[in-house]
Structure 1
């Protein structure tokens, strides 16, 4: 019988807040109820914002909270070569392409479309979809720009990726105990990696969940729609998909998602005010 494997995977780019506490404790509660394992992963591919000091502070807060995990902790920054191998595979399959448009270029494309009465499409997070201009570049033009040092990112050629899959994709959502049809097309040509970093959140989280044998991903509803991209990458790379549980978010007084920049909700500031782990558990309802 397969032992369920859960994971809590924060990014050490700030202090943990009440929303993180809820997600961590819910993972722990569900792992214990299922007789499963619980892992901690540091999603620290952003080396400018993620620091060892912030990771140490996170682990200290988690210990204080009563969150226990298996060691060692997986740090994404230590596995760039693993992600590069998957990126190279996608390049060989011609499912990604180098994208050179800057933010100002994209804004200009959008303005031109608006002047023509065209409504520019946006992804589920509200960001404008990437224009299709770079798809038309020849291999020679792409290589020349890359050789000349132009900044670029590797983007998934969504239409080609969907043709490669050729069938609807689904994920199992345990909050409703139902299979949900993935809609990766809603995201357009998402970033898979960058010139100076051979991965992105979407690629690294997909690979790590597979390599760590994660069977149950428990995370916030803010990542619900992103699951469509992860299912697409899982299918293309031949990875076993986990079950997903997208929990409610802990919101601030204004009904907004909590942010690490809001010090009043950080576990660190609450600890300094004398709040106990038991009170934190009561606040988040776990």
Structure 2
């Protein structure tokens, strides 16, 4: 069992930190809203700290799951940042979905201080975090990954190192690119079924066992047909991720026409007031169009 810090207690981080405590680790948490950190500590028996540096002091591993590039820099750097409180030889594990550029920037900053840095974005959404069933894609030095993987296992159903620093974030981009097109296709299929007067649930029952089947179909078709979109990863966050994908695609020379189109469809969902709806709300845009 290890002494750990966890930075960021949003819908993902709160249960992830809970699984670390449940596994027997000694966990100190930090959250920008201190009351949430105190509530977590009261619930799970850990401790809370007023700054990332204080949370990280004496920890063998520091895990983070915050919002974006700037949030991650804020919890890592500066006098109150985690790196200032970490000892040489400790490991920082970043579960935030951010750009590969900021990952490499922070990898270099950590290395200069004798700290190992593993980028480890996750897939599985809020349900995956709450059930301890996340897929974790990692980049960084092999030795650092080997040390971190048994700790990450507390909330992961799958965890793999894909390469050097930034490889985890690049893999998460692939994940989001695949999801974007798939959810749009599912939305169009269900929308078509409704307009054609078919029983959407019956249609899915037939086609889900064939080539059209997917995790999204199995886990989201019922709520999509019921016009319910409070069950997963928010549109606002998806657009943040897709912006990273599209920017990186320009940098590496990749063509992402469908991803770019679906990003604009999500923009339409935001205009409908659906920034906090889950990503399956693409069907809402189609239904609103008539």
More helix per residue: 2
Q: Which has the higher contact order (CA 8 A, sep 6+)?
A: 1
